[in-house]
Structure 1
Amino acid sequence: MKNLWLVIKREYLTRVRRRAFILATLLTPLGLAVFIAVVQFIFSYENDEVRRIAVVDQGQVFSGQIPDEKGLYFRFEDQPVDSLKARAGEEDGYNAILVIPEVKNPKSQDFRVQFYSDEPLSLDTELAIERRVEKAMRAYKIKTLGLDESALKSLNTDVAIRSQKITVEEGEKADNSMAGIVGAGIGMVMGFMMYLSIFIYGMMVMRSVMEEKMNRIVEVVISSVRPTTLLLGKIIGVGAVGLTQVLAWMVLIPATVFLVTLFFGFDPEAAQQASAANPDIDPEEMQSLVERAIAGVMEMNWWVIIPCFIIYFLGGYFMYAALFAAVGSAMGDDLGEGQSLTIPITIPVILALYIMMAAMQAPNSSLAVGSSFIPLFAPIVMPARLPFEPPAWQIIGSLVIVIAFAAAMVWLAGRIYRVGILNYGKKSSLKDMARWLFSKY
């Protein structure tokens, strides 16, 4: 146990003191902050394009019903189009002309207007003009056809599904209508976290093994430490490094995002004006969606999700880190050739990612349930299903399988590691690795 602790301590301290680790830990939140600042600047950038538009309403039905917007100024004119074209470009004239033809059939769903301008029309300006003409056209049709505006609004019905178990007990609340969407979002985040962690820190273990093998340091180390102890110490040490980095990011990233938002400022009034500029966005409906989403997050059974996620994370990490370590010990001096040995490991990880995406749409499908009991898939698929509250027997059974398989992988990887770490000069094949499992030394 003392030797194991020494190996863990060495692996941990050696890596956390490296400049690359410190820079990655500090620069990742900083890079995210710069990204957020740039995105916020882009979306808050105000278009400096100014359009003074002369509106020729040939049917005299829209007069005064097209409001101005910042950068878009409408004025209705009775002059011929040719006269307005002659005035275009003057200091006090217009730089665009909008010709609205006569409305011959108020029931028609197609309506074409003509726009004249020497400058190309930007997409935002085009959409803004279309929205205003559509709004004015709608008001004209309602008035012409004798329709009731309040009756038309009553046709729009907000349907929200509140799912509830058939076996729900009296007094128990029904599930939030956003539970499915919130669960899918949380499951997707946890699945991707597992996917990235397995790849990043599993590859880190493999590189650690390869470095010691190529530098011949391991020959000295194994003279006083058993190979299996060395392997287990590497896996735990690198895992502790990864955990340290994740915990640091959990503190630094929110703090950095908060400081960036505070420094650059967030103008709620400007955001409200931007939402009001788009008639497709209903502020009350958006607020209702946000409130239901927050309620959905709060109603999640986090006392089950978080502990299970941690166990799956540890099981998946030990499982794949052991496999990567075994592959690292079998590689020769040519790292390019040795990369082919990682293919059998990366394929299950990628397949598990795609199965996880399918499980988001159908968390209780045969594919999702079956994959939850396959050890190489379960650490990625099952955490994504946890927000959907799978049966307890599936969670327990899957955890038992993952833990048992992870322990078996560590033991098997140790059998390969003890031989492969001293095998220099050539790349070993999968056949060689299988033979090492049963060798006595």
Structure 2
Amino acid sequence: MNKIWLVTQREYLTRVKNKTFILTTLLTPLGILVFMAAVVLVMSTGSDKVKVINVYDPTLLLENELKTRDNLTFKFSNESLDAQKELYKEKKINGILEIPALTDSLASKYVYKYHSDDQLAMDETYAIESAIGKKIRNYKLKKLNIDSNTLKNLDTDVSAEPVTILADKKISSITTIVSSVLGGVVGYAMFFIILFYGMQVMRSVMEEKINRIVEVLISSLKPFELMMGKVIGVGLVGLTQIGIWLILMPIIYIIGAALFGINPDSMGAMNTGNIPMEDIAMSSQDKIGQIFLEIRAMNWWLILPLTLFYFLAGYFAYSALFAAIGSAVGEDINEANSLTLPVMMPLMFSMYIGISAVNAPDSSLAVWSSMIPLLSSIVMPVRLPFDPPWWQIAISVVSLVIFSIFLVWLAARIYRVGILMYGKKASFKELSKWIFYKG
């Protein structure tokens, strides 16, 4: 056990002291903040160039009034279209809206013309079309002698109010969206982290074997001790990185809330249960505020520990297999490509199932996959924000632990033979023989 610890310590310290690890660990949360700030900037910034647009409306369809955006100034002119084009050439205006007559009060299609050599921005075009559409609607109502208030009363705003049967389970109308996004992010993160650190174990084993360093190491410790030391050491590196990110998450949350103008302190009553979730969410004027409410109300005491467990169990299973593949590779590093495919397939397959589980977390595919080892390490974390039944989580945890132990044992059998095998290209048939080698 002491020898395993020595290898673990070496693998761990070598990596955490690396500048790349430090920069990646610290810059990733910063990158998230920059991304959030960029989203806020993009959402709040449209075309800010002030434009003066003449409106040629001979039939007074718009009633000499058109309001859209602050940066758009509309001037109604009785001058001819040709005269207004001269104003454009003199750069006194930025464009001309030509409003044709509405010949049919029941027409469902209307086309106006915009004269300019410069195109309008998409949001400007949409704003103008929306404003003209409202004007035409009012014009039609007057022509058809329809009272606008009566017509407005015919419209009904229909929305769903989620009502749970279990008293201890509170949801709001936006819970599904937040759960889907959180599940998708966790699923992708689990896939890339397990793959990244699993590949690190394989590369480390391959380098030591090709450079003949392993021959020196094996003289003082057993192959199993060397393999487990590497797997545990690299796994602790991943756990350290995730731990730092989890510590920084509240900071990211607070800064993100500030960027969107949300005060997290005002949402503290949610955790005390004094105010119903739906009342809090619906009192917010902004949907972004509701999203932050839902994020804070998530069952993090269940999600975080189980996510860490699935990372560790999934990592041990896959990294042990990657270590076995690394030990089987000879002088040619390209040999690893053909051997890694069977290990990569369930990992990639589970990611695609996870994507499906985001949309349908209770589908048969998602439920069964979350309880099948090798798939559950990614699929179940995707389902956790949706509060799956406890018995499904229990089956998933037990089966994954048992199967991970089996895979570590299986990989160790291959590793002990392959790590000292040179000059022989390993096939899957050869690997199966190594499992039953004695000694």
Q: Where on the TM-score scale, by shorter chain, does this alignment land: which range? A: 0.7 to 0.9
> What is aligned with 1:181?
177
Distance 1:173 1:257 in 2: 23
Q: Any idea what the Cα deviations from partners look like across 1:42-93, whole Å, max 9, x if unmatched?
A: 55556354432211112213133202634321111112212222332225x3
TM-score norm. by structure 1 comes to 0.85
> What is aligned with 1:280?
none
Distance 2:24 2:296 in 1: 33
Report the residue type matching 2:308 in the other structure: I
Q: Any idea what the Cα deviations from partners look like across 1:252-306, whole Å, max 9, x if unmatched?
A: 67758978999xx8899xxxxxxxxxxxxxxx99836445544544554333333
Distance 1:37 1:372 in 2: 35
> What is aligned with 2:391?
393
Matched, 1:337 2:368: no
Matched, 1:319 2:338: no
- Verify the 8 A CA contact 1:313 1:379 in the aligned structure 2: yes
> What is aligned with 1:63?
63
Shift of 1:200: 0.8
Matched, 1:83 2:83: yes
- Verify the 8 A CA contact 1:176 1:295 in the aligned structure 2: no
> What is aligned with 1:160?
160
Which deviates the most, 300-309 or 344-353? Answer: 300-309
Secondary structure of the structure 1 residue equivalent to 2:98: strand
Which deviates the most, 249-258 or 125-134? Answer: 249-258
* Equivalent position to 1:382, from 376, 380, 383: 380
* Equivalent position to 1:216, from 196, 212, 216: 212
Distance 1:194 1:236 in 2: 17
Matches within 5 A, 1:283-362: 287=285, 289-290=287-288, 292-362=290-360
Secondary structure of the structure 1 residue equivalent to 2:436: coil
Report the residue type matching 1:232 in the other structure: M
* Equivalent position to 1:409, from 407, 412, 424: 407
Task: Call closer, same or farther: CA 1:72–1:288 in 2, change over 3 Å.
Answer: closer
Once superposed, what is the RMSD of the aligned Cα atoms? 3.0
Report the residue type matching 2:157 in the other structure: T
* Equivalent position to 2:188, from 192, 196, 199: 192
Secondary structure of the structure 2 residue equivalent to 1:103: coil
Matched, 1:134 2:130: no
Task: Call closer, same or farther: CA 1:96–1:300 in 2, change over 3 Å.
Answer: closer
Secondary structure of the structure 1 residue equivalent to 2:128: helix
> What is aligned with 1:10?
10
Task: Call closer, same or farther: CA 1:431–1:388 in 2, change over 3 Å.
Answer: same
- Verify the 8 A CA contact 1:201 1:238 in the aligned structure 2: yes
Task: Call closer, same or farther: CA 1:286–1:51 in 2, change over 3 Å.
Answer: farther
Distance 1:438 1:399 in 2: 29
- Verify the 8 A CA contact 1:25 1:245 in the aligned structure 2: yes
TM-score norm. by structure 2 comes to 0.85
> What is aligned with 2:438?
440
Secondary structure of the structure 1 residue equivalent to 2:4: helix
- Verify the 8 A CA contact 2:354 2:378 in the aligned structure 1: yes
Shift of 1:388: 2.5
Task: Call closer, same or farther: CA 1:163–1:48 in 2, change over 3 Å.
Answer: closer
- Verify the 8 A CA contact 1:333 1:427 in the aligned structure 2: no
Distance 2:314 2:217 in 1: 27
Distance 2:40 2:391 in 1: 46
Task: Call closer, same or farther: CA 1:162–1:288 in 2, change over 3 Å.
Answer: farther
Distance 1:258 1:364 in 2: 32
Matches within 5 A, 1:237-316: 237-251=233-247, 287=285, 289-290=287-288, 292-316=290-314
Shift of 1:333: 1.7
Task: Give the number of aligned pairs.
Answer: 419
Distance 2:32 2:288 in 1: 24
Report the residue type matching 2:90 in the other structure: E
Q: Any idea what the Cα deviations from partners look like across 1:194-249, whole Å, max 9, x if unmatched?
A: 21111111111111111211221111112121111111111111011112222334
Distance 2:406 2:313 in 1: 11
Shift of 1:36: 5.3
Matches within 5 A, 1:146-157: 146-149=146-149, 152=152, 155-157=155-157
Secondary structure of the structure 1 residue equivalent to 2:285: helix
Shift of 1:422: 1.1
Unaligned runs of 5+ in 1: 269-283
Task: Call closer, same or farther: CA 1:104–1:285 in 2, change over 3 Å.
Answer: farther
Distance 2:46 2:289 in 1: 30
Shift of 1:108: 2.2
- Verify the 8 A CA contact 1:56 1:98 in the aligned structure 2: yes
Matches within 5 A, 1:422-433: 422-433=420-431
> What is aligned with 1:365?
363
Secondary structure of the structure 1 residue equivalent to 2:334: helix
Shift of 1:37: 5.6
Distance 2:372 2:344 in 1: 15
Give % identity.
44
Distance 2:261 2:385 in 1: 34
Distance 1:259 1:395 in 2: 33
Task: Call closer, same or farther: CA 1:342–1:163 in 2, change over 3 Å.
Answer: farther
Unaligned runs of 5+ in 2: 263-281
Secondary structure of the structure 2 residue equivalent to 1:335: coil
Secondary structure of the structure 1 residue equivalent to 2:152: helix
- Verify the 8 A CA contact 2:46 2:123 in the aligned structure 1: no
Report the residue type matching 2:22 in the other structure: I
Shift of 1:360: 2.3
Task: Call closer, same or farther: CA 1:285–1:102 in 2, change over 3 Å.
Answer: farther
Secondary structure of the structure 2 residue equivalent to 1:287: coil
